[in-house]
């Protein structure tokens, strides 16, 4: 008999009667007359109560070896449960221990563990209820992303992970090399990367955008969804060295089309997670660290219209706010979290776009505005988090782009292929990037970005 998933039981998808289950022991309680085991299989946050009669034939051999974390196969009668708080139970007729789990050594015990402790056992933390829930939400949100773009006819493009171009021009990239770093080949006193694996310097990508533009100007609307890498020494609860990014890029879109798509996208994603992950969210928002009112904020963001504020206007609002910010407000500065939070939580009281930032604080590829000082950038800010999406209309004018590359002190010759897109059938186009883990923090209520990615990488840490 094939095994049933516990999620199907709680979703009333299978008839009561004889069933087989496979899973792991979460808790167990034995008395002279009956043994209760809570079995889980990772399919949902709820377990299944097993009721075992000690007179059962297999009991004597198996029961003493049952412990938290052990794996079992059980067969029995699925029936309505008389106990409070659960609708079903399995009256076990046969049970078999598949893998033991020595109680004194297994790190995940019944008592709640701190998130910090669980971070030290990355290989076991997905077995905890919290991380089971987080990673199911992550999986559902991934499906939502593909669904959203698929419904709109976007083409999914796989941009390279190993690259020779620096999209953001910030230089915070990880090098990819097979050279012997003890004795690298040298030429004119410098390392000779011509002798390296790719016959030149190669890095891990910080963004798939530039390659995404190649495809947008070939097939129209595209998106990427893959890992990106930043070698910044940012040891914060919002930064990872390896994170996943979703980057749509659309030919013939201007900044306003771009903002409209970003708004539809974030609303769709939130609504999808609220609809498809209700049990996991309910569990996560009942945790002691979660802010329960966040669910209301999510509902608000998924339905409310988004405001738009010009960067210059935003600076005036901040200056007039009467607040004493840690980072003093001045035209030309990048907005810090505290400024973003003021704009979303106190000024607009909802989500908003800040647009038209000074060109000095934005990347070289953004379209320069008529004022010559600002660029057609947009950041989406959401209540309680701040920036979640960054994007822009791209500079499609060849000469202006060359000037911008030079102004940003980037080597023009590296961008010959990118400039070619502006020589042959150039079109206005735009796109944005959503940091997948920032989004997941938002919808799961997890406070540290390291807790929404299975294997976090950050300065000083890359386990497994
Ligand atoms: O603002 P960023 O750097 O934009 C880009 O990379 C553009 N190429 C996007 C585009 O227009 N196609 O990053 C985009 C988003 C940020 O809004 C943030 O959500 C996330 O990526 N992000 C990070 N997430 C986790 N850890 C980090 N170190 C991150 N840096 C950016």
Kindly report, residue by residue over 260-304, the tens digit of the pLDDT. 999 999 999 999 999 999 999 999 999 988 888 999 999 999 999
Per-residue pLDDT averaged across 347-358, rounded? 97
Which pTM does this prediction carry?
0.95
| Ligand 1-lining residues (CB < 6 angstroms) | 167-168, 207, 209, 230, 234, 239-240, 243, 245, 247, 387-392, 431-433, 435, 437-438
Task: Pick left, alpha or beta for residue 355 (phi over 0 → left; psi -120 to 50 → alpha; otherwise beta).
Answer: beta
Please determine, for residue 129, whether its predicted confidence score (pLDDT) is greater than 70: yes
pLDDT over 90 at 161, yes or no: yes
The alpha carbon of 412 and the centre of ligand 1 are apart by a number of angstroms equal to 23
438, 453, 459: residue to mutate for ligand 1 pocket, most atoms within 8 A of CB: 438
CA distances from 315 to 256, 329, 410 (A): 21, 7, 29
- Residue in this structure with the two tokens 């010559």, named with its chain if needed: 372
Task: Please tell me the distance from the alpha carbon of residue 362 to that of residue 374, in angstroms, as a whole number.
Answer: 9
Structure tokens at 292: 């329960």
Does 463 have pLDDT greater than 80? yes
* Share of the chain residues as helix, strand and coil, in percent rounded to the nearest 5: 35, 25, 40
pLDDT at 418: 96
CB contact set of 149 (below 8 Å; sequence gap of 6+): 156, 223, 248
The model's confidence at residue 168, banded by pLDDT at 50, 70 and 90, is: low
Q: Give me the DSSP letters along 233-253.
A: ---STT--SEEEEEEEEEET-
Residue among 237, 288, 280, 286 nearest 113 (CA): 288
Instruction: Write the residue with the smallest CA distance to atom 7 of ligand 1.
Output: 433
For position 196, what pLDDT does the model report?
96
CA 409 from chain centre, in angstroms, equals 32
CA nearest ligand 1 atom 5, residue? 433
pLDDT at 132 over 70: yes
Q: Whose CA is nearest to atom 30 of ligand 1?
A: 239
Distance 103 CA to ligand 1 centre (A): 43
In the chain, which segments carry CATH 3.30.930.10? 125-170+206-451
Tokens representing 137 are: 């939400």
Model confidence at 383: pLDDT above 90? yes
The per-residue pLDDT for range 21-79, each reduced to its tens digit, is 999 999 999 888 999 999 999 999 999 999 999 999 889 889 899 999 999 999 999 99
379 CA: nearest ligand 1 atom = 17
CA–CA gap between residue 311 and residue 318 (Å, rounded) = 10
Give the residue range(s) of CATH 2.40.50.140 domains in the chain: 6-111
Point out the ligand 1 atom lying closest to the alpha carbon of residue 239.
Answer: 26
Whose CA is closest to 137, among 385, 457, 446?
446
The residue among 368, 359, 371, 361 whose CA lies nearest residue 339 is 361
The residue whose C-alpha atom lies closest to atom 27 belonging to ligand 1 is 239
Going by alpha carbons, the residue nearest to atom 9 of ligand 1 is 433
**pLDDT at 357 (0 to 100):** 98
Residue nearest to atom 22 of ligand 1 (CA): 435
The residue to mutate among 249, 435, 451, having the most atoms of ligand 1 within 8 angstroms of its beta carbon, is: 435
Report the alpha-carbon distance of residue 435 to residue 453 in Å, rounded.
Answer: 12
Which ligand 1 atom sits nearest the alpha carbon of residue 392?
Answer: 11
Q: How does strand 17-30 pair with strand 71-80?
A: antiparallel
Q: Nearest to residue 17, comparing CAs of 30, 33, 1, 28? A: 1
Alpha-carbon span 25 to 63, nearest angstrom: 12
* Residues β-bridged to residue 251: 429
Average pLDDT, whole number, for the chain? Answer: 95
Q: Say how many C-beta atoms besides its own lie within 10 A of residue 383's C-beta.
A: 23
Range with the lowest mean pLDDT among 83-92, 150-159, 268-277? 83-92
Q: What 8-state DSSP symbol labels residue 399? A: H
449 Cα to the center of ligand 1, angstroms: 14
Q: Shortest CA distance to 446 belongs to which of 454, 438, 435, 434?
A: 438
Contact 35, 22 (CB under 8 A): no
| Residue 192 confidence (pLDDT) | 96
Local confidence band at 20 (pLDDT 50, 70, 90 cut-offs): very high
Contact present, 164 and 147 (Cβ < 8 Å): no
Distance from residue 228's CA to the centre of ligand 1 (Å): 9
DSSP of 42-95:
SSSS--EEEEE-TTSTTHHHHGGG--TT-EEEEEEEEEE--STT-SEEEEEEEE
pLDDT band for position 109 (cuts 50, 70, 90): confident
Q: Do 243 and 435 contact (CB within 8 A), yes or no?
A: yes
Q: Is the pLDDT of residue 110 over 80?
A: no
Q: Whose CA is nearest to atom 15 of ligand 1?
A: 435
Question: Which of 141, 213, 216, 245 for a ligand 1 pocket mutation test, highest count of atoms within 8 Å of Cβ?
Answer: 245
Indicate the pLDDT class of residue 166, thresholds 50, 70 and 90. low
pLDDT at residue 36, as a whole number: 95
Residue nearest to atom 21 of ligand 1 (CA): 435
Distance of CA 18 to the CA centre of its chain: 40
Query: What contacts 205, CB < 8 A, 6 or more positions away?
Result: 159, 160, 161, 162, 163, 167, 228, 229
**Cβ pair 113, 129 in contact under 8 A:** no
Query: What is the reported pLDDT for 2?
Result: 82
Name the percent of the chain lying above pLDDT 90. 90
State how far the Cα of 270 lies from the Cα of 445, in Å rounded to an integer.
Answer: 13
Q: Are 435 and 388 in contact (CB under 8 A)?
A: yes
Placement of tokens 């030079």 in the chain: 406
CA–centroid distance, residue 63 to ligand 1 (Å): 52
Count helices and strands in the chain by DSSP H and E runs: 13, 18
Ligand 1 atom nearest to 230, measured from its CA: 28
pLDDT digits (tens, 9 = 90+) for 401-437: 999 999 999 999 989 999 999 999 999 999 999 999 9
In terms of Cα–Cα distance, which of 163, 215, 165, 169 is closest to 404? 169
Architecture of domain 6-111: Beta Barrel (2.40)
- Residue 435 Cα, ligand 1 centroid: separation in angstroms? 5
Q: Assess contact for 8 and 20: CB atoms under 8 A.
A: no
For ligand 1, the distance from its centroid to the CA atom of residue 26, given in whole angstroms, is 38
Nearest-CA residue for atom 17 of ligand 1: 389
Is 37 in contact with 52 (CB distance < 8 Å)?
yes
Q: Give distance in angstroms: CA of 253 to centre of ligand 1.
A: 20
* Nearest protein Cα to ligand 1, atom 14: 433
List C-alpha distances in Å: 379 to 227, 262, 351, 355. Answer: 21, 10, 11, 7
Q: What is the pLDDT of residues 204-263, one digit of tens each?
A: 999 999 999 999 999 999 999 999 999 999 999 999 999 999 999 999 999 999 999 999
Q: Which tokens go with 183? A: 């004795």
CATH topology of domain 125-170+206-451: BirA Bifunctional Protein; domain 2 (3.30.930)
How far does residue 441's CA lie from ligand 1's centre (Å)? 14
**Distance, CA 391 to ligand 1 centroid (Å)?**
9
170: pLDDT confidence band, cut at 50, 70 and 90?
low
> Ligand 1 centre from 439 Cα, in Å?
11
């Amino acid at each position: 008999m094939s095994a049933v998933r516990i999620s199907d039981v709680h979703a009333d998808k299978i008839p009561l009667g004889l069933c087989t289950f496979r899973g792991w022991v979460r808790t167990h309680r034995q008395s002279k007359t009956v043994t209760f085991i809570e079995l889980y299989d990772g399919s949902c946050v709820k377990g299944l109560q097993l009721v075992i009669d000690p007179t059962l034939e297999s009991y004597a051999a198996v029961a003493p070896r049952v412990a938290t974390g052990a794996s079992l196969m059980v067969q029995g009668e699925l029936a309505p449960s008389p106990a409070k708080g659960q609708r079903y139970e399995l009256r076990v007729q046969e049970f078999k221990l598949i893998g033991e789990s020595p109680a004194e050594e297994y790190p995940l015990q019944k008592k709640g563990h701190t998130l910090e402790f669980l971070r030290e056992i990355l290989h076991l933390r997905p077995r905890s209820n919290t991380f089971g829930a987080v990673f199911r939400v992550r999986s559902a949100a991934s499906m939502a992303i593909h669904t959203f773009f698929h419904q709109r006819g976007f083409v999914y493009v796989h941009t390279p992970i190993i690259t020779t171009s620096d999209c953001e021009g910030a230089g915070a990239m990880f090098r990819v090399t097979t050279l012997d770093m003890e004795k690298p080949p040298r030429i004119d006193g410098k390392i000779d990367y011509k002798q390296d694996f790719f016959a030149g310097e190669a890095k891990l990508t910080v963004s798939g955008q530039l390659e995404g533009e190649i495809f947008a100007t070939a097939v129209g609307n595209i998106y990427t969804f893959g890992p990106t890498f930043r070698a910044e020494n940012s040891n914060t609860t919002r930064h990872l060295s390896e994170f996943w990014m979703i980057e749509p890029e659309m030919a013939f879109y201007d900044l306003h089309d771009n903002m409209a798509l970003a708004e539809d996208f974030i609303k769709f994603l939130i609504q999808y997670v609220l609809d498809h992950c209700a049990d996991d969210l309910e569990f996560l928002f009942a945790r002691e660290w979660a802010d329960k009112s966040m669910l209301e904020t999510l509902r608000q963001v998924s339905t409310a219209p988004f405001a738009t504020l010009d960067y210059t206007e935003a600076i005036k609002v901040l200056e007039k706010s009467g607040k004493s910010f840690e980072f003093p407000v001045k035209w030309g500065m990048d907005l810090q979290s505290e400024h973003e939070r003021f704009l979303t939580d106190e000024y607009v009281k909802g989500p908003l776009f800040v647009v038209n930032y000074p060109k000095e604080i934005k990347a070289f590829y953004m379209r320069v505005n008529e004022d010559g000082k600002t660029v057609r950038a947009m950041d989406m800010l959401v209540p309680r988090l701040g920036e979640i999406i960054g994007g822009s209309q791209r500079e499609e004018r060849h000469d202006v782009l060359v000037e911008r590359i030079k102004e940003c002190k980037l080597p023009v010759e590296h961008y010959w292929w990118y400039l070619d897109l502006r020589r042959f059938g150039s079109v206005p186009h735009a796109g944005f990037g959503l940091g997948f883990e920032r989004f997941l923090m938002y919808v799961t209520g997890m406070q540290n970005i390291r807790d929404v990615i299975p294997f976090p990488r950050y300065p000083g840490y890359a386990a497994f």
